[in-house]
Amino acid sequence: MNLLFLFMDGIGLGVRDPKINPIAQADMPNMSSLLGGDKLVAGKTPIETQGATLLAIDPVMGVEGRPQSATGQAALLTGKNVAKIIGGHYGPKPNPPVTEVIRAGTVFSALEEMGFKTALLNAYPERYFDAIASGKRLFSAIPLAVTSAGVELKTVKDLYAGEALSVDFTGQGWRDHLGYDDIPLLDPHTAGHHLSELAASYDFAFFEYWPSDFAGHRQDKKAAIELLENFDQVLGGLLEAWDHQSSLILITSDHGNMEDLSVRSHTMNPVPALVIGSPELRQKFASNLKTLADVAPAILKMYKKITQM
Protein backbone atom coordinates (compact mmCIF):
# COMPACT_ATOMS: atom_id res chain seq x y z
CA MET A 1 0.00 0.00 0.00
CA ASN A 2 1.33 3.42 -0.92
CA LEU A 3 -0.04 6.86 -1.66
CA LEU A 4 0.98 9.46 -4.22
CA PHE A 5 0.01 13.00 -3.24
CA LEU A 6 -0.09 14.94 -6.51
CA PHE A 7 -0.35 18.56 -5.51
CA MET A 8 -1.62 21.05 -8.14
CA ASP A 9 -1.03 24.58 -6.94
CA GLY A 10 -3.81 27.11 -7.52
CA ILE A 11 -6.57 24.86 -8.90
CA GLY A 12 -10.12 25.46 -7.74
CA LEU A 13 -13.47 24.18 -8.93
CA GLY A 14 -14.67 27.00 -11.17
CA VAL A 15 -17.69 27.66 -13.34
CA ARG A 16 -18.19 25.78 -16.60
CA ASP A 17 -17.28 28.81 -18.69
CA PRO A 18 -14.42 28.35 -21.19
CA LYS A 19 -14.13 32.13 -21.55
CA ILE A 20 -12.62 32.44 -18.08
CA ASN A 21 -11.92 28.86 -17.00
CA PRO A 22 -9.25 27.05 -19.04
CA ILE A 23 -10.12 23.81 -17.25
CA ALA A 24 -13.54 23.99 -18.91
CA GLN A 25 -11.91 24.36 -22.33
CA ALA A 26 -8.80 22.17 -22.20
CA ASP A 27 -8.88 18.75 -23.86
CA MET A 28 -8.24 16.42 -20.91
CA PRO A 29 -9.52 12.95 -21.92
CA ASN A 30 -7.82 11.10 -19.06
CA MET A 31 -9.26 13.41 -16.42
CA SER A 32 -12.64 13.26 -18.14
CA SER A 33 -12.56 9.48 -18.14
CA LEU A 34 -11.94 9.45 -14.39
CA LEU A 35 -14.92 11.76 -13.90
CA GLY A 36 -17.37 9.77 -15.99
CA GLY A 37 -17.03 12.05 -19.00
CA ASP A 38 -17.20 15.34 -17.11
CA LYS A 39 -14.78 18.23 -16.59
CA LEU A 40 -13.02 19.22 -13.37
CA VAL A 41 -15.46 22.06 -12.67
CA ALA A 42 -17.95 23.12 -10.02
CA GLY A 43 -21.49 21.94 -9.71
CA LYS A 44 -21.65 18.17 -9.56
CA THR A 45 -19.60 17.07 -6.56
CA PRO A 46 -19.46 14.58 -5.10
CA ILE A 47 -18.73 12.45 -8.15
CA GLU A 48 -18.24 8.71 -7.71
CA THR A 49 -17.09 6.62 -10.68
CA GLN A 50 -15.53 3.22 -11.11
CA GLY A 51 -12.04 4.65 -10.75
CA ALA A 52 -12.26 7.87 -8.78
CA THR A 53 -14.01 9.99 -6.19
CA LEU A 54 -14.19 13.76 -6.58
CA LEU A 55 -15.02 15.97 -3.62
CA ALA A 56 -15.06 19.74 -3.21
CA ILE A 57 -13.14 20.77 -0.10
CA ASP A 58 -12.98 24.13 1.64
CA PRO A 59 -9.72 26.15 1.54
CA VAL A 60 -11.19 29.16 3.40
CA MET A 61 -11.98 27.27 6.61
CA GLY A 62 -13.89 30.08 8.27
CA VAL A 63 -11.06 32.61 8.10
CA GLU A 64 -11.74 36.00 6.51
CA GLY A 65 -9.90 36.77 3.29
CA ARG A 66 -8.64 34.89 0.28
CA PRO A 67 -6.77 31.61 0.84
CA GLN A 68 -3.00 31.82 0.43
CA SER A 69 -0.27 29.33 -0.36
CA ALA A 70 1.70 29.15 2.89
CA THR A 71 -1.26 28.63 5.20
CA GLY A 72 -3.13 26.44 2.70
CA GLN A 73 -0.21 24.11 2.07
CA ALA A 74 0.59 24.03 5.77
CA ALA A 75 -3.02 23.02 6.51
CA LEU A 76 -2.79 20.17 3.98
CA LEU A 77 0.44 18.93 5.52
CA THR A 78 -0.27 19.39 9.23
CA GLY A 79 -4.00 18.76 9.55
CA LYS A 80 -4.40 22.10 11.33
CA ASN A 81 -6.35 25.21 10.38
CA VAL A 82 -3.13 27.19 10.14
CA ALA A 83 -4.80 30.38 8.93
CA LYS A 84 -6.98 30.38 12.05
CA ILE A 85 -3.99 29.63 14.30
CA ILE A 86 -1.96 32.59 13.01
CA GLY A 87 -4.92 34.95 12.60
CA GLY A 88 -5.28 35.08 8.83
CA HIS A 89 -4.39 33.60 5.46
CA TYR A 90 -0.73 34.14 4.57
CA GLY A 91 1.61 33.52 1.67
CA PRO A 92 3.27 32.77 -0.56
CA LYS A 93 6.19 31.68 1.69
CA PRO A 94 5.79 30.74 5.36
CA ASN A 95 6.34 33.51 7.89
CA PRO A 96 7.72 32.63 11.35
CA PRO A 97 4.31 31.62 12.83
CA VAL A 98 3.55 29.32 9.87
CA THR A 99 7.08 27.93 10.01
CA GLU A 100 6.61 27.12 13.68
CA VAL A 101 3.43 25.15 12.96
CA ILE A 102 5.11 23.20 10.16
CA ARG A 103 8.18 22.38 12.21
CA ALA A 104 5.96 21.08 15.00
CA GLY A 105 4.89 18.19 12.78
CA THR A 106 3.55 17.22 9.36
CA VAL A 107 2.56 14.07 7.52
CA PHE A 108 6.20 13.70 6.48
CA SER A 109 7.57 13.76 10.02
CA ALA A 110 4.74 11.60 11.40
CA LEU A 111 5.15 8.94 8.72
CA GLU A 112 8.93 8.91 9.06
CA GLU A 113 8.54 8.41 12.82
CA MET A 114 6.19 5.50 12.12
CA GLY A 115 8.87 3.86 9.98
CA PHE A 116 7.47 4.67 6.55
CA LYS A 117 9.64 5.87 3.69
CA THR A 118 8.63 9.26 2.29
CA ALA A 119 9.86 11.51 -0.49
CA LEU A 120 9.25 14.71 -2.40
CA LEU A 121 9.81 13.62 -6.00
CA ASN A 122 10.65 17.07 -7.41
CA ALA A 123 14.26 17.76 -8.32
CA TYR A 124 15.74 21.14 -7.38
CA PRO A 125 18.62 22.82 -9.28
CA GLU A 126 21.91 23.82 -7.68
CA ARG A 127 21.01 27.52 -7.70
CA TYR A 128 17.98 26.78 -5.52
CA PHE A 129 20.13 25.28 -2.77
CA ASP A 130 22.64 28.12 -3.10
CA ALA A 131 19.86 30.70 -2.68
CA ILE A 132 18.49 28.91 0.38
CA ALA A 133 21.95 28.64 1.94
CA SER A 134 22.65 32.35 1.34
CA GLY A 135 19.35 33.44 2.85
CA LYS A 136 18.23 35.06 -0.42
CA ARG A 137 15.40 32.57 -0.74
CA LEU A 138 13.04 30.97 1.76
CA PHE A 139 11.63 27.47 1.65
CA SER A 140 8.00 27.31 0.62
CA ALA A 141 5.78 25.21 2.88
CA ILE A 142 6.27 21.88 1.13
CA PRO A 143 10.10 21.69 1.04
CA LEU A 144 10.11 23.15 4.56
CA ALA A 145 7.92 20.25 5.72
CA VAL A 146 10.15 17.73 3.96
CA THR A 147 13.45 19.04 5.31
CA SER A 148 11.99 19.53 8.79
CA ALA A 149 11.20 15.81 8.77
CA GLY A 150 14.83 14.99 8.02
CA VAL A 151 14.09 13.97 4.43
CA GLU A 152 16.53 15.24 1.83
CA LEU A 153 15.33 17.22 -1.17
CA LYS A 154 16.21 15.70 -4.53
CA THR A 155 18.90 17.34 -6.64
CA VAL A 156 20.03 17.59 -10.24
CA LYS A 157 22.03 14.40 -9.65
CA ASP A 158 18.77 12.60 -8.84
CA LEU A 159 17.20 14.00 -12.01
CA TYR A 160 20.07 12.73 -14.18
CA ALA A 161 19.85 9.36 -12.42
CA GLY A 162 16.12 9.04 -13.07
CA GLU A 163 15.32 9.22 -9.36
CA ALA A 164 13.37 12.49 -9.51
CA LEU A 165 11.29 14.54 -11.94
CA SER A 166 11.39 18.15 -13.07
CA VAL A 167 8.39 20.27 -12.15
CA ASP A 168 7.19 20.19 -15.78
CA PHE A 169 7.58 16.38 -15.76
CA THR A 170 9.47 16.29 -19.07
CA GLY A 171 12.73 18.10 -18.25
CA GLN A 172 12.27 20.61 -21.07
CA GLY A 173 12.07 23.53 -18.66
CA TRP A 174 15.47 22.68 -17.20
CA ARG A 175 16.93 22.89 -20.71
CA ASP A 176 15.08 26.05 -21.70
CA HIS A 177 15.38 28.09 -18.50
CA LEU A 178 18.03 26.58 -16.23
CA GLY A 179 20.86 25.86 -18.66
CA TYR A 180 20.98 22.08 -18.24
CA ASP A 181 21.30 21.36 -21.95
CA ASP A 182 21.83 17.63 -21.57
CA ILE A 183 19.12 16.90 -19.01
CA PRO A 184 17.19 13.74 -20.01
CA LEU A 185 13.90 14.47 -21.76
CA LEU A 186 10.68 12.50 -21.35
CA ASP A 187 7.47 12.77 -23.31
CA PRO A 188 4.50 13.43 -20.99
CA HIS A 189 3.06 9.91 -21.19
CA THR A 190 6.42 8.34 -20.38
CA ALA A 191 6.87 10.84 -17.56
CA GLY A 192 3.59 9.60 -16.10
CA HIS A 193 4.88 6.03 -16.17
CA HIS A 194 8.07 7.17 -14.49
CA LEU A 195 6.11 9.07 -11.84
CA SER A 196 4.26 5.85 -11.04
CA GLU A 197 7.51 3.89 -10.77
CA LEU A 198 9.12 6.48 -8.51
CA ALA A 199 6.06 6.72 -6.26
CA ALA A 200 5.91 2.94 -5.92
CA SER A 201 9.39 2.92 -4.39
CA TYR A 202 8.16 4.90 -1.38
CA ASP A 203 5.35 4.40 1.11
CA PHE A 204 4.31 8.04 0.71
CA ALA A 205 5.38 10.14 -2.27
CA PHE A 206 4.58 13.79 -2.94
CA PHE A 207 4.90 15.78 -6.17
CA GLU A 208 4.46 19.56 -6.27
CA TYR A 209 3.15 21.01 -9.53
CA TRP A 210 3.26 24.79 -9.23
CA PRO A 211 3.11 25.97 -12.91
CA SER A 212 -0.70 25.91 -12.65
CA ASP A 213 -0.64 28.70 -10.07
CA PHE A 214 1.93 30.65 -12.08
CA ALA A 215 -0.25 30.55 -15.20
CA GLY A 216 -3.24 31.68 -13.16
CA HIS A 217 -1.47 34.73 -11.78
CA ARG A 218 -0.31 35.65 -15.28
CA GLN A 219 -3.88 35.22 -16.59
CA ASP A 220 -2.33 33.41 -19.54
CA LYS A 221 -5.11 31.29 -21.01
CA LYS A 222 -3.03 29.79 -23.82
CA ALA A 223 -0.28 28.70 -21.42
CA ALA A 224 -2.87 27.41 -18.95
CA ILE A 225 -4.55 25.21 -21.57
CA GLU A 226 -1.19 23.89 -22.78
CA LEU A 227 -0.03 22.92 -19.31
CA LEU A 228 -3.41 21.35 -18.45
CA GLU A 229 -3.32 19.22 -21.59
CA ASN A 230 0.30 18.28 -20.88
CA PHE A 231 -0.66 17.37 -17.31
CA ASP A 232 -3.46 15.18 -18.65
CA GLN A 233 -1.01 13.24 -20.82
CA VAL A 234 1.16 12.69 -17.75
CA LEU A 235 -1.95 11.57 -15.88
CA GLY A 236 -2.67 9.06 -18.64
CA GLY A 237 0.75 7.48 -18.27
CA LEU A 238 0.47 7.50 -14.49
CA LEU A 239 -2.93 5.78 -14.53
CA GLU A 240 -1.75 3.21 -17.05
CA ALA A 241 1.15 2.13 -14.81
CA TRP A 242 -0.51 2.55 -11.41
CA ASP A 243 -1.56 -0.26 -9.06
CA HIS A 244 -5.21 0.73 -8.68
CA GLN A 245 -6.15 -2.10 -6.31
CA SER A 246 -3.76 -1.54 -3.43
CA SER A 247 -2.60 2.09 -3.75
CA LEU A 248 -4.11 5.56 -3.90
CA ILE A 249 -3.49 8.80 -5.79
CA LEU A 250 -4.69 12.05 -4.26
CA ILE A 251 -4.87 15.17 -6.44
CA THR A 252 -5.72 18.36 -4.59
CA SER A 253 -4.75 22.00 -4.17
CA ASP A 254 -4.26 24.79 -1.64
CA HIS A 255 -6.55 27.44 -3.14
CA GLY A 256 -8.25 28.40 -6.36
CA ASN A 257 -6.64 30.59 -9.03
CA MET A 258 -6.27 29.23 -12.55
CA GLU A 259 -9.95 28.27 -12.83
CA ASP A 260 -10.89 31.96 -13.05
CA LEU A 261 -8.63 33.98 -15.34
CA SER A 262 -10.93 37.00 -15.11
CA VAL A 263 -9.02 37.89 -11.93
CA ARG A 264 -5.31 37.82 -11.09
CA SER A 265 -5.84 36.97 -7.43
CA HIS A 266 -6.65 33.71 -5.69
CA THR A 267 -10.31 32.75 -5.59
CA MET A 268 -12.72 31.72 -2.85
CA ASN A 269 -13.73 28.59 -4.76
CA PRO A 270 -13.54 25.14 -3.17
CA VAL A 271 -10.66 23.00 -4.38
CA PRO A 272 -10.92 19.48 -5.78
CA ALA A 273 -9.97 16.42 -3.80
CA LEU A 274 -9.70 13.73 -6.46
CA VAL A 275 -9.01 10.30 -4.99
CA ILE A 276 -8.03 7.52 -7.41
CA GLY A 277 -7.93 3.85 -6.51
CA SER A 278 -10.19 0.95 -5.59
CA PRO A 279 -13.69 1.84 -4.34
CA GLU A 280 -12.97 0.31 -0.92
CA LEU A 281 -9.77 2.27 -0.34
CA ARG A 282 -11.30 5.49 -1.68
CA GLN A 283 -14.34 5.23 0.57
CA LYS A 284 -12.22 4.78 3.67
CA PHE A 285 -9.86 7.59 2.75
CA ALA A 286 -12.35 10.19 1.53
CA SER A 287 -15.16 9.71 4.06
CA ASN A 288 -14.30 12.80 6.15
CA LEU A 289 -12.66 15.15 3.64
CA LYS A 290 -14.35 18.51 3.98
CA THR A 291 -11.54 21.07 4.35
CA LEU A 292 -7.80 21.29 3.69
CA ALA A 293 -7.17 20.40 7.32
CA ASP A 294 -8.88 17.01 6.88
CA VAL A 295 -6.33 15.70 4.38
CA ALA A 296 -3.39 14.98 6.71
CA PRO A 297 -5.56 13.13 9.28
CA ALA A 298 -6.98 10.95 6.47
CA ILE A 299 -3.46 10.09 5.33
CA LEU A 300 -2.22 9.29 8.82
CA LYS A 301 -5.32 7.23 9.65
CA MET A 302 -4.66 5.05 6.62
CA TYR A 303 -1.04 4.39 7.57
CA LYS A 304 -1.84 3.80 11.21
CA LYS A 305 -4.17 1.00 10.13
CA ILE A 306 -1.30 -0.55 8.22
CA THR A 307 0.88 -0.60 11.34
CA GLN A 308 -1.92 -2.33 13.27
CA MET A 309 -2.25 -5.19 10.79
Model confidence over 136-148: pLDDT tens digits?
Answer: 999 999 999 999 9
The answer to whether residue 257 is domain-embedded is yes
Confidence of residue 308 (pLDDT cuts 50, 70, 90): confident
Q: What is the DSSP string of the chain?
A: --EEEEEETT-----S-TTT-HHHHS--HHHHHHTTT--S-TTS-SEE-SSEEEEEEBSSTT-SS---HHHHHHHHHHSS-HHHHHTS---SS--HHHHHHHHT--HHHHHHHTT--EEE-BB--HHHHHHHHHTSS---HHHHHHHHTTPPPB-HHHHHTTSSB-TTSSSHHHHHHS--TT-----HHHHHHHHHHHHHTSSEEEEEE-HHHHHHHHT-HHHHHHHHHHHHHHHHHHHHHS-TTT-EEEEE-SSB-TT-TT-SS-B---EEEEEES-HHHHHHHHTT--BGGGHHHHHHHHHHHHHT-
The answer to whether residue 73 is domain-embedded is no
Asked whether the whole model's pTM tops 0.95, one would answer yes
Range of the domain at 260: 3-62+106-307
187: domain CATH number is 3.40.720.10
Model confidence over 11-38: pLDDT tens digits?
Answer: 999 999 999 999 999 999 999 999 999 9
pLDDT at 7 exceeding the cut of 80:
yes
State the average pLDDT over residues 54-61. Answer: 98
The answer to whether residue 131 is domain-embedded is yes
The answer to whether residue 233 is domain-embedded is yes
Give residue 309's pLDDT.
Answer: 65
State the average pLDDT over residues 160-179. Answer: 97
Number of domains observed in the structure of the chain: 1
